[in-house]
């Protein structure tokens, strides 16, 4: 059977942007920003999106469009090495880890959306009365499990429809809806009493703060940038594998990154004025996964048209989350279809069945070896997998594909973008893996015990050694 492809260029861009725009922008971005000092974080984050995110995105695109297979097949065929194919399985595992926790959060959102929508016609939403207590009651356990299954079911339904009739069609509706609703909400939030204060916190650029906090916010900013651009999970490899014509990857990648950033910034423009209007200082409120649900739910409860605003807001989040979760499910599905010849339907059934269990564990959230599962998967595990995953793709692009990567980058690109191919390859193959390796070490707290510069040195040496090894052992690459 012929491999599926996107029907239109806009279809690919919207699907990839739909993958990027998700809980990372609306749920994670505002509280990570608040936790890390507001505008200072924003500046560093934007820099990383530009310098790491866009080149990283292009790395995955180049592998995907050239390989025309799932990450496993693409890495194996392009390198001619089964070891790289084996590494591809890493992305399948990452995708399962991602969707396991994502679907639980998606379930929470679905629940809040449902509660709010019902509140439009009936009694006030139940979570209005005591947001903190309410969230505590539904965040884990049977409630969370039920809504996880519902969210996963919706995700599976879209992926079931296939590349064109499922993913492309779905994201073509979801993405514009997200943008329109979010702009509306941001404009409205600007009329709230706390808006001026919120903008000052969020948008005032203060070089001194940026300099004072630069290294502290680097790690979180890098993690956030990867997560929000769906990098390091093989998503963008998979989506780019369905491109069947030569169009400009640098152009498409830039549009996707800009759209994604726009939604993140817009989400901040909705969330911060709301919090400030209630006198909640976002830098002081309890950070973490509950922030959106507890802080914002409390804000909605006190607004005149709170139920309506809450419905619109959680509606946006549901759509954004869904267009991301389908891209996660698609990775293992494409793997089973490409490698084992399963029909799409059967592949969706198998993968969904697996995530019913793995996500179910996240929803129940038991404590294993002293660590709560959900927090571990949503935090350190995913951060580490994505960072390592992207570093490996970039090493692959720079050291295995080399010239092929440059020609793939150039094909379909305009003169200006084509001229960037060589600098891009140098950055992607050398500077970015070292940077990512460094963030990996800081994620493990190595910089705290070794000191900053020694950690940089370790990253450079280890990176160099890995490349040298890859270069000399031709059997590997």
CB of 13 to ligand PHE, least distance (A): 15
Q: Which two tokens stand for residue 3?
A: 């491999």
Nearer to ligand PHE, 15 or 425 (CB): 15
CB of 230 to ligand PHE, least distance (A): 4
Closest CA to 7 of 130, 227, 172: 172
| Binding residues for ligand PHE (CB under 6 A) | 19-20, 22-25, 98, 227-228, 230, 233, 235, 324, 327-328
Q: Treating both helix axes as pointing N-terminal to C-terminal, what angle do 249-277 and 39-48 enclose, rounded to 10 degrees?
A: 170
CB of 308 to ligand PHE, least distance (A): 25
| Nearby residues of 162 by Cβ (< 8 Å), 6 or more positions away | 4, 344
Nearer to ligand PHE, 181 or 328 (CB): 328
Which stretch of DSSP H or E encloses residue 367? strand 367-368
Nearer to ligand PHE, 390 or 421 (CB): 390
Q: Which two tokens stand for residue 67?
A: 């390989």
φ/ψ of 371, rounded to 5, equals -125, 135
Cβ atoms of 22 and 323 within 8 Å: the answer is yes
Nearer to ligand PHE, 18 or 298 (CB): 18
CB of 224 to ligand PHE, least distance (A): 9
Nearer to ligand PHE, 237 or 249 (CB): 237
CB of 109 to ligand PHE, least distance (A): 11
**262-285 residues labelled b (16+ CB within 10 A) or e (exposed):** bbbbbbbbbbbbbbbbbebebeeb
CA distance 106 to 318: 7
CB of 103 to ligand PHE, least distance (A): 12
CB of 383 to ligand PHE, least distance (A): 11
Cβ atoms of 102 and 328 within 8 Å: the answer is yes
Cβ atoms of 39 and 202 within 8 Å: the answer is yes
Nearer to ligand PHE, 230 or 277 (CB): 230
Neighbouring CB atoms inside 10 A of 323's CB total 29
Q: Which two tokens stand for residue 354?
A: 């697996």
CA distance 97 to 177: 28
Cβ atoms of 170 and 158 within 8 Å: the answer is yes
Q: Which two tokens stand for residue 322?
A: 């869904």
Residues paired with residue 30 on neighbouring β-strands, in sequence order: none
Nearer to ligand PHE, 23 or 259 (CB): 23
Nearer to ligand PHE, 98 or 163 (CB): 98
CB of 19 to ligand PHE, least distance (A): 5
């Amino acid at each position: 059977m012929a491999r599926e492809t996107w029907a239109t260029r806009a279809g690919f861009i919207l699907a990839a942007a739909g993958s990027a725009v998700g809980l990372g922008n609306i749920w994670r971005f505002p509280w990570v920003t608040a936790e890390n000092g507001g505008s200072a974080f924003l500046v560093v984050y934007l820099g990383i999106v530009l310098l790491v995110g866009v080149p990283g995105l292009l790395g995955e695109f180049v592998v995907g469009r050239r390989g025309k297979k799932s990450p496993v097949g693409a890495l194996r065929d392009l390198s001619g090495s089964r070891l790289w194919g084996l590494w591809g399985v890493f992305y399948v595992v990452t995708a399962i880890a991602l969707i396991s926790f994502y679907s639980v959060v998606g379930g929470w959102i679905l629940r809040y959306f449902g509660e709010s929508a019902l509140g439009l016609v009936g009694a006030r939403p139940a979570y209005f009365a005591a947001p903190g207590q309410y969230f505590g009651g539904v965040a884990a356990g049977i409630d969370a499990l039920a809504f996880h299954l519902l969210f996963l079911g919706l995700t599976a339904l879209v992926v079931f429809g296939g590349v064109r009739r499922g993913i492309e069609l779905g994201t073509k509706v979801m993405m514009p809806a997200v943008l329109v609703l979010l702009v509306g909400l941001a404009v409205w939030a600007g009329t709230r009493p706390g808006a001026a204060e919120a903008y000052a916190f969020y948008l005032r650029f203060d070089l001194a703060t940026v300099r004072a906090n630069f290294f502290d916010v680097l790690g979180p900013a890098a993690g956030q940038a990867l997560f929000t651009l769906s990098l390091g999970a093989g998503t963008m490899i998979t989506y780019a594998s369905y491109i069947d014509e030569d169009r400009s990857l640098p152009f498409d990648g830039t549009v996707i990154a800009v759209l994604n950033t726009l939604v993140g910034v817009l989400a901040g423009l909705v969330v911060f004025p709301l919090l400030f209007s209630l006198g909640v200082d976002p830098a002081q409120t309890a950070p973490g996964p509950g922030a959106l649900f507890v802080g914002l739910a409390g804000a909605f409860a006190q607004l005149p048209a709170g139920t309506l605003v809450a419905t619109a807001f959680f509606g946006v989040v549901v759509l954004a989350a869904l267009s991301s979760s389908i891209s996660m499910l698609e990775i293992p599905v494409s793997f089973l279809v490409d490698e084992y010849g399963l029909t799409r339907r059967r592949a969706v059934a198998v993968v969904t069945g697996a995530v019913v269990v793995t996500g179910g564990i996240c929803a129940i959230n038991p404590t294993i070896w002293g660590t709560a599962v959900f927090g571990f998967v949503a935090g350190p595990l995913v951060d580490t997998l994505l960072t390592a995953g992207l570093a490996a793709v970039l090493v692959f692009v720079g050291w295995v594909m080399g010239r092929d990567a440059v020609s793939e980058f150039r094909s379909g690109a305009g003169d200006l973008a084509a001229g960037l191919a060589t600098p891009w390859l140098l950055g992607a193959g050398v500077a970015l893996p070292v940077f990512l390796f460094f963030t990996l070490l800081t994620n493990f707290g190595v910089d705290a015990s070794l000191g900053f510069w020694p950690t940089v040195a370790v990253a450079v040496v280890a990176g160099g050694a890995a490349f040298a090894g890859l270069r000399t052992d031709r059997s590997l690459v």
